Amino acid sequence: MSYNPYLLLEHALLAADPDEKAALTDELSAAVQNAELAAETAPPLDFRYAGRPARPRLVAPSEVTQRKMNTNEGYAAMLHAICHIEFNAVNLALDAAYRFRRLPPQFARDWIRVAEEEVYHFRLMRDRLRSFGYDYGDFEAHAHLWDMAYKTAYDPLLRMALVPRVLEARGLDVTPAIRAKVAQRGDLETCAVLDIIYRDEVGHVKIGNHWYQHLCRERGLEPVVLFRSLMARYDLFVFRGHVNIEARERAGFSRFELEMLEDFEKSLKAGKVV
């Protein structure tokens, strides 16, 4: 008997309470473990937001209050921001598995596994936040990550290009610097959590890269050229700030592509490409 994961995916995705979402994701992950996945021909629901709790209050990225990391509140706000990224990452992974139904069953299986790892990260980081006397929802947050999911909900190729390959890969660039600041504070428990997140995120970006290549091949599109044009069209960038070449290569970006992209973005910045 093959197992149809789509109803449970829908419940997990729409669950507003983080604990309920996490429990449903655990259930889903266990259910698909050794099961053959059934095909689904019914279309997915279209919704503006996936399930999320009433708090944190969502504000524009520019309106998130900047706090100094050397205060207890500022440090907790930084942990909260990571919690929020992990919570959104659960929704993003569930949404990929739920929405894009015409791909081989391995696609849903891969993203359910990612969702399960994101749940793990969320729980770990929420525990760290709680140990400083705060909880998820206590600070404001922005909807940037989910907005990109909404914008790319009509095409798995676009989703793979812009969410794992741009937004999640950015996490690989910034995590080592965050870890260094956390270590400087002597918070070794949070360092250990960041190490787990960093290790797993390489795998998530790698899965995104794998399916991006797969979809490009299927459609006869040249992956590097397409990616450059998408970056220009959506006004996104990779080479601003530190780029973690080593982690990106492990996550499936080729050195050739990264070099091409750096050149391309330099010329964009210099106004040589229109």
* Count of Cβ atoms closer than 10 Å to residue 243 Cβ: 18
- The reply on whether position 257 binds Fe ion by CB under 5 A is no
- Distance in Å, CB of 199 to Fe ion, minimum: 10
106-135 positions binding Fe ion, by CB under 5 A: 118, 121
Q: Taking CB under 5 A as the rule, which mask of x and - marks residues 28-67 in contact with Fe ion?
A: ----------------------------------------
Cis-peptide into 56, omega within 30 deg: yes
Query: Cβ closer to Fe ion: 118 or 265?
Result: 118
Task: Please report, for residues 93, 130, 160, the alpha-carbon distance to residue 236 in angstroms, rounded to integers and kept in the order given.
Answer: 21, 34, 14
Q: Give the total of residues touching Fe ion (CB under 5 A).
A: 4
Query: Cβ closer to Fe ion: 137 or 171?
Result: 171
- Distance in Å, CB of 42 to Fe ion, minimum: 30
141 beta partners: 58
Query: Cβ closer to Fe ion: 121 or 142?
Result: 121
Question: Is residue 168 a contact partner of residue 203, using CB atoms and an 8 Å limit?
Answer: no
Q: How far apart are CA 271 and CA 65, in angstroms?
A: 33
67-96 positions binding Fe ion, by CB under 5 A: 86, 89
Query: Cβ closer to Fe ion: 116 or 118?
Result: 118
- Distance in Å, CB of 179 to Fe ion, minimum: 14
The residue sitting closest to Fe ion, measured at its beta carbon, is 121
Helix (H) or strand (E) holding 18, with range, is: helix 18-32
Query: Cβ closer to Fe ion: 91 or 152?
Result: 91
Question: Is residue 29 a contact partner of residue 109, using CB atoms and an 8 Å limit?
Answer: no
Nearest to 128 by CA among 180, 190, 40, 183: 190
Question: Is residue 234 a contact partner of residue 162, using CB atoms and an 8 Å limit?
Answer: yes
- Distance in Å, CB of 208 to Fe ion, minimum: 13
Residue 65 is given by DSSP the state P
Q: Which residues bind Fe ion (CB under 5 A)?
A: 86, 89, 118, 121
